Each structure stands twice: as structure tokens, then as C-alpha cells.
Amino acid sequence: MAGRGGCRRGREQLELGRLGEAARAGSCPPSPPLSACSRQAWSRDNPGFEPEEEEGAAAAGPVLEMDVEWGSPAAGASSSLGSGAAGQSGGGGGRRQRRVPAGRGGAEGPSRHPGPPEGAAPHRAAWAKRLARRLRGLWGTRLMEESNTSRERYLKSVLRELVTYMIFLVVLCVLTYGTVSSSMYYYTRVMSQLFLETPVSKMEKTDFKTLSTMDDFWKFTEGPLLDGLYWEMWYNNKTMAENKSFIYYENLLLGVPRIRQLKVRNGSCSIPEDLRDEIKDCYDVYSVANEDTAPFGLRNGTAWTYTNEKDLNGSSHWGLIATYSGAGYYQDLSRTREVTAVQIASLKRNLWLDRGTRAAFIDFSVYNANINLFCVVRLLVEFPATGGLVTSWQFQPVRLIHYISTFDFFLAACEMAFCLFVLYYMVEEILEIHIHRLHYFRSLWNCLDILIIVLSVVAIGISIYRTSTVDMLLKKLLEDENSFPNFEPLAYWQMQFNNIAAVTVFFVWIKLFKFVNFNRTMSQLSTTMSRCVKDVIGFAIMFFIIFLAYAQLAYLVFGTQIDDFSTFQDCIFTQFRIILGDFNFTEVEEANRILGPIYFTTFVFFMFFILLNMFLAIINDTYSEVKSDMAQQKAEMELSDLIRKGYNKAMIKLKLKKTTVDDISESLRQGGGKLNFDELRQDLKGKGHTDAEIEAIFTKYDQDGDQELTEHEHQQMRDDLEKEREDLDLDRSSLPRPLSSRSFPRSLDDSEEDEDEDSGHSSRRRGSSSSGVSYEEFQVLMRRVDRMEHSIGSIVSKIDAVIVKLEAMERAKLKRRDVLGRLLDGVTEDERLGRDNEIHREQMERLVREELERWESDDTASQMSHRLGTPLGLNGQPRSRNSRPSSSQSDGIDGGGGGNGGNNIHV
């Protein structure tokens, strides 16, 4: 055993030494035993080439694992060999496992442990674990991948997630668009034309939209309302079915219509003492607290006595002036026109509407069997405290009866698929939250996923409630033909379902940006918005300060005269319309001839010509920065490259397309033995290869760097390919399932396939010693080290140049002190000896002139050295010993490293 351990330890050290030499050299050894470098060149650097070892990757086979203690003298003694889960029990952070094919090499074969014991229980356990692993793979997304996963594997997860999401999007769109049709619009249109646009009489043009008084309201109920509700005669004066009204001969009037009003009590507001003699009654604006519940008029029947909201099974309604409750005084009309006319005449004669009336509702429902649609109609007339009236209406076409036609059953199948997708995404998000904890919620896309799931669950709940209750309610509402069928609750839930479905579809489409951002061009939008968010927030604060100031001004000046400025909310929307060019300057000018033009002119100037252009400038500048940064970034593999790669691989397997090597060989033969990079790129681009493929191949085999492939370099490329193919054949012959050669020293696919942990997520695999370092990660680290060495060397050279300049400055300062000392000594000597001042002045001028000439010569030499990139003064040349830098150069160095060296130092 000791000899066997020593042999194994020797092989491990030899393998590690070979890997270290390959990493230090940065290129492949001439003849690697396992053709590792050729695999590296073709399966990593070339994204367009895929080795053939994946053809039989579905089969399972026994593998051996070898534990290596990095840096431990007792590595061989502590190594353990096992199959399957045996190698995963040791989880130390300093251990590393390498997968070795069974039967590969002489040292490993005899030390193989026996396989699992035979028996039904271990087989069942292994089968259950494999099944659990396959099920976990269904929820594999990019957030569940390891951090050291290769770019290609990461994009494969993204592509699978995108395909699943697109299927979900298609199912959702079929569901939402399948429940809406153009028939709904035409249904609403014909009903609204009948009741809203019909004049109250042949002599008047007033219709429901233009009602202005209570008298107009009664004219409408006695004319267009009765004519529209009761269609008892054909156009040839033949009677229709008895006691049944088919509006437009197609829409059955369900039950009877209902007219309801809400009142406020007298004395609900206070009257000033000075006017109490003239004004006796006072009716406040509507509110639930001011609502009148006392009987009035005839004091018999529901039309004259108050009924609460619960008994009416009603709900509140949001009108134009106020929000009204579902209670009030109501009168159910009849199924015949004559009886209904008598009822309306009785209400009018007994003053059913009076000063206390604040709202009158007209409700009825119709059904069209041709298109299987109900239409719930509500006409509302509001009587404000100011007098007059305001009209509004609501037509709700809803599909309450489902699963009749073949298409309805198809929609039912889509609903089941939608529920399964929601359950699938719920499990996916739970797994991702379990992995990332609170960090999961830091991503906006993750929060959007949660929002989509919540909205989908709410929509499913509403749909189940609607479907389960509609049959019972329809039977109950329609069994009594002389009662009012209240479809308002069903219509309400149907409208809420439509609103939630619309919002869900909107967010689901927005989420597509999450996948589009993997494209380099498409990601410019999200990158631009994320970079300029701070500037946009600052701009928005300034924008809305001015915007709200103008809105307040417009509300106070024009609010009493212009409908578009009648409320503060209307002022805000009107100003947005002005920015977009939709405005009515005449109304503003007529409301205030002085402040109107001033408001309009200054608002357009500041908001449109200044602030809006500032916003566009922020976006444009940020987009330019993003575009320039992306142009400098290194191109990475994208989803389009992955799809193109798969397509090319399929075409090559079907022998419908040549491989990259065959294309290069053909191009080389056409080029006469040498092939230029531009020619190769143009030729291979025309054959469907990407720039990344071409650049990777050319860089790998262009050893002399002359941008040309010679016959020798091409032959080396052919030899590497043959070695790669031979090695793959050897792998397939030695293993039932070939090991992937794309990872170093073991592939992520194999490590994930043979792990025995219950969790298949990255957080649980991260601390395991079974996952080897991939070759891509090793190469990335090597490139980073090379860049660090290059950067450090550049920094050291620049620091040396600065030190040389500082030394030159010090020598210049000493020389300056010496010259000034000599000048001072000369002046002192002249004063002591009584020499002539003219002679002394001439000597001083001569000394200063000589010193200035030396400084100018030094400055010229320094500038020449800057252009040549060589610091002066090193080893005493070419600076003179008595030279000093010029004052401008000295100031530049003192102020932060002037010259060539100081401006380029960033540590």
C-alpha cells in the first residue's frame, strides 16, 4: 500500500507540475499526453466548435475520484479513492477532487474500491436520488448556477429559462385575448347609441348626455328610455313574443329595470342668520352622514320608503361628484311598456324627485345569445347642490357563462396550463429565496417575479369564485322574471378580473427586458436608465417644483371658468397635455386676459424649451457614455451566439455544413499557403462563423503575430485537432459514458450529475470539495495576474520617472542656492571694498544671464525627453550637474506631478 500511495503521489505531483508549467507558459506544451491544449483551443477559445464527446452523454458509468491535499506533505497518505458518493464525504475547504476515468492508468486501477453492495434497497435509493436530481433540474435558472460556471453553461440556463417563460407568455396571452373580442366593443357601442344619443323628442335635440334639468330627466324616462327598453313590434308592425323584449331584436331584457334615488335630509347645512328669513330649507352636498332615510311622498311602497344597502344587495358607486351608497328609494319597473309608463307618470306626478335628490340610478341587464355576452347597464344622473344635473353612464359587457363552444374548452386547457406555470414559478422563486435569502430582493427583476405571481394567484382566485357562484346566482336571478336581476356583483368581479389580467400581462411583457438585456445592443437601454437615475431624480425634483407651481397658479386663476382646470388633478393632466401640444389657448385667454397669456407663455418656455431639453440632454449624454463604454468592453458570448452555435453544430452533424477547420483549410488552399486575418475573417463571416470564433482560432495559432496563418501554423492546428479527436475516441472506448473535457480537472456537468447531496443548488455545492476548478476560471485568473503584472510594471516605471524628476529638482535647488550665495557674497565684497556700482551691476547681469541660459537649455532637453518617453537625469545623463528645471516645470511637479510622468500616475 505504501508503494501504491507513493506511485499515486508521484503521478499527482507530475500532473500538478505539468499544469503549473502550462499556466506559466500561457500556451500549450508541444505534445501534451492528453491533448489538453487542443481541447482548450477548440472547446473553450472557439465557441463555434463543440467536441464530439457529448454524443453519448446520457449514459451513466463508474468514475474514480482522487483527493489531493494542496500544499500538504502527506497528500498521498490522506488521499482516498471511491466511486459515486464516497468521494463527497470529505468537505474540507483545502481539498480538491479530481475525476479520473475508471481504468485509466496503471496506478489507479488496482486501488479502486468495490461498488455498492447488491440489493434492492440501494438500487431504490439511487433511483430515488436520480429522480430527485432530475426534478431539481426542472427549476434550474441562472440564479441557481454556481458563480464559477462557464459563460456557455450560464447562457444555456438563461435560454432554457427564456423558452419556458415564452411558453408561459403565450399561454397567458391566449387566455387574456381569448376572453376579449371586438364583439364587446360593438355591443357597447350599439347600446350606448340607443340610450345616450337618442333625442328626448322629435322637436328637441337634447339627449341623455346633454340633460340639464329635472324636466329633461322625466322627458328622457318617458321617451328614449321606454323606447329603448321595450321592443314589442317589428318594423312591419307585427308583434313580438309576449312579455319578452328583445332590444334590437337580438338582446333579451332580463327581468325588469330598476330606478333608484338617493336623497339628503333637509337642514343638513347651516343658513346664515341674516338670510334665515328668506331661506327656509337647506340641503347639503351628498354624503352618507347627510343621507335622508325618512319616508316621504305617498309613504307606501319601496319608491317612498328607504331601503338599506344590505337588503338591496348593492354596493357603492363612484360618480363624477361624489361616491354614492347602494341604498335608497327604488322602484322596479314592469315587463310591459304600458305598465312602466304608468309607474313613471305616478312618480313624476307625486314629485318623486325634489330638492333633496342628489342621484338617480337606472339599472337593467340584457343578454345576447349570439355572442354569449351579458351587458350590465347603469345610467346615472347626479343632482349637485348647485342645481342642474350631471350625467354619466356605465356599460359592462361580461362573459358570465363559460365552457360552451370548442374554443371555450381550449381556453379551459390553457387555464389549467396557466395554473401549472404559476405553481412552477412559485416553487422556483421559493428555491431562489432559500438560496439567496434577503439578497434575492435586491434585484428589481426578482421583485417583479413576486408581483407577477401574486397577481396571478389573485386572478386565479377571482376566476374560481366567479365560476363557482355564477351558475347558482344566474338560476336564482332568472327564476323570477318579474324581479330585478342584480348582476352588479358578478359584473364587478368580472371587471376586477379583467383589470388584474391586464396588469399581469403588462408586467409579464415588461419582464422580457430581463432576457433581452443579455443582448449587447439591447442592454444599452437598461444600462442607460440605471446610470442616469441620479441625474433624472435631481431633474425630476426641479421639474415638479416648477410644474406644481404652475398647476396651483392655473387652478386658482382658471379653475372657476375652464373645465380642464376645474380641479387640481385636472390642472396637472392639462399641463401634461400642453407639453405634448394639446391645448386651447383661446379658453385660457378668455378666462383672464392678463394672467392667461403670461401663464401660457412662461409655462411653455420653461417646461418645453428648457426643462424638457435638459431631460433629453441627460439621456443623450448618458447613452453616449454607455455606448462608448460598451465599445471598449470585451465581447462576450451572447444568446444569439449560443443559438448560432447550436444551429451550426446541428448542421455539421447532418453534414449540411463544413466545420471551421475545413473552412480554414479551404480558405488556406485558395490563399496559396498563407492567409491574412482580414481575408480569413471575411471568408468565414460569409460562412456563418462569429467574430469570437475567428479571433480565438487566429490568436491561438498565429504564433509569430504577423496576422497571417502560414502552412506550418495551419499544420499545427490540424495536428491539434487530430490529437483532440484521438483523445476523445480513447475516452469513449474506456468509459461507458465519456467524461466531458471542457472543465479542468472535472466538468461541472459530471460533478453535478454524480453528487449525492439532496440539494442541487449552488449554495450547497459551493462549500463541497468535490467541485474542481474549471479551466475557464483558471484562465481568467491567469489573465488577471498578467494584467496585474503589466499594470504594476507600468506604475513602477512611472514612479521611477517621478523620483528622477524629484532628484533633479533637488539638485536644481542646491545649484540655485549656490548661485544666489555667490551673488550675495559678491555684493558684500563690493560694499566692503568700495567698488563701482556699475561694474557690480554688470557682473550680476552676466551671472543672471548665464543662469537663465542654463535653465532654458535644461527646459528644452526635458521637453525632448518627454517626447521620447525617457526620463532625464538617470545615471547622470543627459542632465548636466549644474542644471535646474525651469520655473514652470518645477511648479508643475510641485502641483501634482506635472510633465509626462505626474499626469499619468493613478495608484
Mind listing the pLDDT tens digit for each residue in 220-259?
999 999 999 998 888 888 777 666 788 998 999 998 999 9
Residues in the chain: 907
Which of 722, 536, 838, 732 shows the shortest CA–CA distance to 54? Answer: 732
Which residue do the cell numbers 346633454 mark? 210
Q: Is 501 helix (H, G, I), strand (E, B) or coil?
A: helix
What is the mean pLDDT of the segment spanning 624-652?
77
Highest mean pLDDT among 617-626, 788-797, 870-879: 617-626
Q: Are strands 251-263 and 81-82 parallel, antiparallel or unpaired?
A: unpaired
Pairwise CA distance, residues 343 & 259, whole Å: 11
Task: Give residue 471's pLDDT.
Answer: 75
CA 148 – CA 748 distance, rounded (Å)? 9
What is the spatial distance between Cα 669 and Cα 673, in angstroms, rounded to a whole number?
Answer: 6
Average pLDDT over residues 598-603: 94
Our CA angle for 625, 629, 633, nearest 5°, is 170
**Is the predicted pLDDT of residue 872 greater than 60, yes or no?**
no
Please state, in angstroms and rounded to a whole number, the distance separating the CA atoms of residues 509 and 459.
17
φ, ψ dihedrals at 379, nearest 5°: -110, 125
Helices (H), 364-443: 406-436
Terminal-to-terminal C-alpha distance of the chain: 55
Residue 808 has pLDDT above 50, yes or no: yes
Classify burial at 489, counting beta carbons within 10 Å of its beta carbon; exposed 0-12, middle 13-18, buried 19 or more: middle
Q: Which pLDDT value is given to residue 724?
A: 63
Looking at the chain, the whole-number percentage of residues with pLDDT higher than 70 is 65
Q: What is the pLDDT of residue 454?
A: 94
Partners of 393 in the beta sheet?
379
Nearest residue to 173 via CA among 563, 599, 400, 505 = 505
Q: Which cell numbers hold the place of 34?
A: 492528453
What is the CB-side half-sphere exposure of residue 822 using CA atoms within 13 A? 11
pLDDT at 860 over 80: no
The whole-angstrom separation of Cα 157 and Cα 760 is 14
Taking the CB of residue 554, how many other CB atoms lie within 10 A of it?
27
Return the higher-pLDDT residue of 859 and 239.
239
The helix (H) or strand (E) run that includes residue 367 is: strand 357-368
Q: How far apart are CA 718 and CA 471, in angstroms?
A: 75
Per-residue pLDDT band at 362 (split at 50, 70, 90): very high
68: closest CA among 17, 32, 2?
Answer: 17
Arithmetic mean of pLDDT over the chain: 74
Q: Which of 32, 43, 95, 77 is nearest to 773 (CA)?
A: 95
Cβ–Cβ < 8 Å for 748, 146: yes
Residue 614 confidence class, pLDDT cut points 50, 70, 90: very high
Cross-strand partners of 380: 361, 392
Q: Is residue 16 pLDDT above 60, yes or no? A: no
pLDDT in tens, 370-410: 999 999 999 999 999 999 999 999 999 998 888 888 888 99
The span from the CA of 61 to the CA of 738, in Å, is 8
Cα–Cα distance, 692 to 686 (Å, whole number) = 14
DSSP classification of residue 203:
S
Range of weakest confidence among 50-54, 569-573, 785-789: 50-54
Strand-pair partners of 269: none
**Does 651 or 512 have the greater pLDDT score?**
512
Is the distance from CB of 263 to CB of 292 less than 8 angstroms?
Answer: yes
Whether residue 460 contacts residue 419, with contact meaning beta carbons closer than 8 Å, is answered with yes
Integer Cα distance of 636 and 627 in angstroms: 16
Whether 87 shows a pLDDT value over 50: the answer reads no
Q: Do 873 and 879 meet the contact criterion of CB atoms below 8 Å apart?
A: yes
- DSSP for 525-592, written as a single string: HHHHHHHSHHHHHHHHHHHHHHHHHHHHHHHHHHTTT-GGGSSHHHHHHHHHHHHTT---HHHHHHH-
- Residue 213 has which C-alpha cell? 334639468
> Quick one: CA dihedral 736, 737, 742, 746, positive or negative?
negative
Rg (Cα) of the chain, in Å, rounded?
Answer: 44
Q: Which residue has the higher pLDDT, 694 or 173?
A: 173
Q: At residue 861, does pLDDT exceed 70?
A: no
Measured CA to CA, the distance from residue 90 to residue 770 in angstroms comes to 8
CA quadruple 168, 172, 175, 181: dihedral positive or negative? Answer: negative
What DSSP element (H or E) covers 127?
Answer: helix 120-138
- What residues contact 574, with CB distance under 8 A and at least 6 apart? 554, 564, 565, 583
Mean pLDDT of 547-564: 94
63 or 314, higher pLDDT = 314
Rounded distance between C-alpha atoms, residue 599 and residue 588, angstroms:
9
pLDDT score at 645? 78
d(C-alpha 88, C-alpha 764), whole Å:
12
Q: Which of 7-11, 65-69, 413-417, 649-653 has the highest mean pLDDT?
A: 413-417
- Which three cell numbers, joined as nine digits, stand for 905? 500616475
59 — pLDDT class (breaks 50, 70, 90): very low
Angle at CA of residue 15, ends 12 and 21, nearest 5°: 140
Asked which of 114-118, 141-145, 181-185, 315-319 is least confident by mean pLDDT, the reply is 114-118
Is residue 65 predicted with pLDDT exceeding 50?
no
Helix 775-833 with 837-868: angle, nearest 10 deg: 170
Phi, psi of 369 (to 5 degrees): -75, -20
Q: Give the closest residue to 79 by CA, choosing from 9, 141, 11, 22.
A: 9
634 closest CA partner among 678, 696, 697: 696
Q: How much is the pLDDT for 754? A: 41
In this prediction, residue 110 carries a pLDDT of 40
- In order, the DSSP letters of 428-489 are HHHHHHHHHGGGGGGSHHHHHHHHHHHHHHHHHHHHHHHHHHHHHHHHHHHS-TTS----HH
Average pLDDT of the segment spanning 305-327: 92
Residue of higher predicted confidence among 770 and 253 = 253
Phi-psi domain of 194 (left: phi exceeds 0; alpha: psi -120 through 50; beta: other)? alpha
Would you give the DSSP letter of residue 291? B
What is the CB-side half-sphere exposure of residue 91 using CA atoms within 13 A? 10
- In the numeric block, the cell 347626479 is attached to 382
Closest CA to 599 of 553, 552, 548, 542: 553
Q: Return d(Cα 485, Cα 363) in angstroms, integer.
A: 10
**SS3 (DSSP) at 290:** coil
88-97 residues labelled b (16+ CB within 10 A) or e (exposed)? beeeeeebbb
